[in-house]
Each structure stands twice: as structure tokens, then as C-alpha cells.
Amino acid sequence: MIADKPATVTLATGCDTTYSNVMRPDDALRKVRAACLALDDVTERLSHGQPAWFVGKKQFAVLTNNHHGDGMLALTVGAPPGMQRMLVDSDPEIYKVPPYVGSKGWVLIRLDRDLPWKQVRALIEAACSANRR
């Protein structure tokens, strides 16, 4: 049997990267919070009982853990036009069309799956920028 080791993959963005370990909820909150609050004019507050991030008055990200019993640790972001379909098509195990806001182009990112944090951070930055208007 082959020993477990990180997989190197080519992402939809064309970047080769090594996947990280599966994230725990407390680590996810810490990392998402740090990435969001490092961006200009971003604030954090609860939205529907979940930690959420806003640029100005517009929400661009929300972190959920087993939301309505879905069994997922996920970050949902307001993606720029076209990004939702590209991501979901590239890896439907990690990227999903979320309920409620999926019709507005938002994308759900499963943080309970192996994925590179660099990719999550880039999606957070893109979502913030797309919602900065």
C-alpha cells in the first residue's frame, strides 16, 4: 500500500500546489477571520448566527459548520461573475452552489476537504473585491 502523502494538483486557476490537511472548525474560523480582516474596510459580525464578513455594508463571506445539518465545514463567498461555474465544474467535491445565495453567483467552499489554503485566501480576496462596490 502507498503511504499517505500530500497530492500535487493543478487547480482551475492553473496553479500547481500541495493540498493541506483537513481543517478543524476552530482553525477554519481563525484562518478565515485573519484573511478577511487583513483586507481594507472589512468588518466581522454575525449573520443568521454565523460569523460573516462585510466590506462596507455588503456581506462577502460567511463561515458555516454543519449548517442545517448539512455535515459540512464551509466558507461561502460572493464570487465574481463566472467564477462559481468554473470552480464547481473544476472540483464538485470541494466547490458547490450554495442554497439561498447560489442563484446570485456565490460559491460554497468545503473547508472539511483537502484544499490549499492559498486558494481559499485568493477566493476571499476576489469575493471582497467583487463586493466592494
Q: Per-domain residue ranges for the chain?
A: 21-130
**What's the helix, strand, coil split of the chain in %, to 5?**
30, 30, 40
Q: Mind listing the pLDDT tens digit for each residue in 28-63?
A: 999 999 999 999 999 999 999 999 999 999 999 999
Please state the rounded mean pLDDT for residues 116-133.
93
Q: Which residues contact 29 (CB under 8 A, 6 or more apart)?
A: 51, 63
Contact 8, 114 (CB under 8 A): no
Q: Contact 67/74 with Cβ under 8 angstroms? A: yes
Is the backbone of residue 24 left (phi > 0), alpha (psi -120 to 50) or beta? beta
Task: Write out the three cell numbers for 4.
Answer: 499517505
Confidence band, pLDDT 50/70/90 cuts, at residue 11: very low
- pLDDT value at residue 82: 94
Question: 21-130: what CATH class?
Answer: alpha beta
pLDDT of 17 reads 40
The identity of residue 4, as a single letter, is: D
Q: pLDDT per residue over 60-104, tens digit each? A: 999 999 888 888 999 999 999 999 999 999 999 999 999 889 999
Burial tier of 61 (Cβ tally within 10 Å: 0-12, 13-18, 19+): buried
Whether the pLDDT of residue 121 is over 60: the answer is yes
